[in-house]
Structure 1
Amino acid sequence: MRRLVVDALVGGERGHVGSSMSPIEILRVLYDDVLRHRPSEPGWSLRDRCILSKGHGCLALYALLADKGYFPTDLLKTFCRKGSILGGHPEHGKVPGVEASTGALGHGLSIGVGMALAARMQKRDSRVFVIMGDGEINEGSVWEAALSAGKHKLSNLVAIIDYNKIQSAGATAHIQELEPLLDKWRAFGFAAEEVDGHDVAKLQKLFARVPLDVGRPTAIVCHTVKGKGLPFAEHDPEWHHKSKVTAELGERLYAALEPR
């Protein structure tokens, strides 16, 4: 999947590098082992919904959806090109498998709350998973949505935080300290646990237990590494986004992903 992300970065000559590399395993496990979905029928009413609220990390979602057959993998190389369906943020109704247009940060959980309530009203057993960035949850709208989810005891809603500790301008601890993060989610009425966001086996085991409490929404804090898989980009806010991915840089990215 990381090589597919690089295919898109090279094709579009730009993109969010670090932000797309940290949620790879989270998405992989969700779509392999957790979500009920049909690539041949993206609008299937009984599907589970997965919202990538941190829409700037869309290359991870595009790579996963292409790998699953929602659209041909060759389209990844058209990323951000004129006429492509794959823009710098995901668009619902344009990209098969994208549940919500996101990227104006802080809105995904509110959308997810609405979807979870709709499923309850329509007596569907669909679940809703919302992946947020740690910098994103500085937004007040996230916590308004969390209050609402706790009030309505939305056990079919799962908030997932891609906690890579770095946002666009630097470390989250310096810009807006989030700790104690688990306690915050619990105070808002969520059953909350944390996990290594790159350990596939641990992710599989934890996601298999969702909902963590049948009477409350779930929050899972995934400890991740910004730029995971690219040693020269890991933990470095300079790799949050690159506006010019040259052929030379592309070769460097591919080389970093070669088996050692």
Structure 2
Amino acid sequence: MARVAIVTGGSRGIGEAISVALRDAGMTVAANYAGNDERAREFTERTGIKTYQWDVSDYDACLAGVAEVESELGPVDVVVNNAGITRDGTMKRMERQAWDDVIDINLGGCFNMAKAVWNGMNERKYGRIVNIGSINGQAGQYGQVNYAAAKSGIHGFTKALAQEGARAGITVNAIAPGYIDTDMVAAVPPDVLEKIVAKIPVGRLGQASEIARGVTFLCAEEGGFITGSTLSINGGQHMY
């Protein structure tokens, strides 16, 4: 029976690439999304992957969402915590709400989703959790104290939870992408983007499919000896 995987933020950008890659690896994938119903419908029509709507920052919504997926598809053995937002601004200009929103979704969502599947994974003695961090959580970034803090927190969360899950056959790892050619990066002004690319040793932006291959590797049945690790996929921009 195919493993069931949930990918949060799984219907667009890096999340879409991860959902498709896990599907192609033989898993039954549920793609979570926040609120863009039109995009979710288009994604399902194009990929055949079913979408489920809930807010990952809402603890009870995560419990209900996982329960719905399990009732329809079966026990969840794989979770990819990809959902994330940015609310950039310098400390001088950043409002408390921008801090709370980013921490609650980017970091709180990891806790909520892990909590929702943890008991089941322990009972079945198997699980794969992959959390999507960021190069900016490793190196910091001007105007992103909220985002960098959340992503840095993901790396600590990953190491701690990995220790709790190891004896139960649950691996917990992270991937720290660099600058990837997605809609979010496309919104960066061209002159700024040019400066970013100039700092990447391989001389280009990454592709979402490259992140997805890393996730698939960490989620594989054969990946049981890899846990508590962070895989940096950033073109050599930050060697951590």
Shorter-chain TM-score tier: 0.3 to 0.5
Q: TM-score scaled to structure 1, two decimals?
A: 0.38
Tell me: higher relative CO, structure 1 or 2? Use CA pairs within 8 A at least 6 residues apart. Answer: 1
Give the structure with the larger helix fraction. Answer: 2
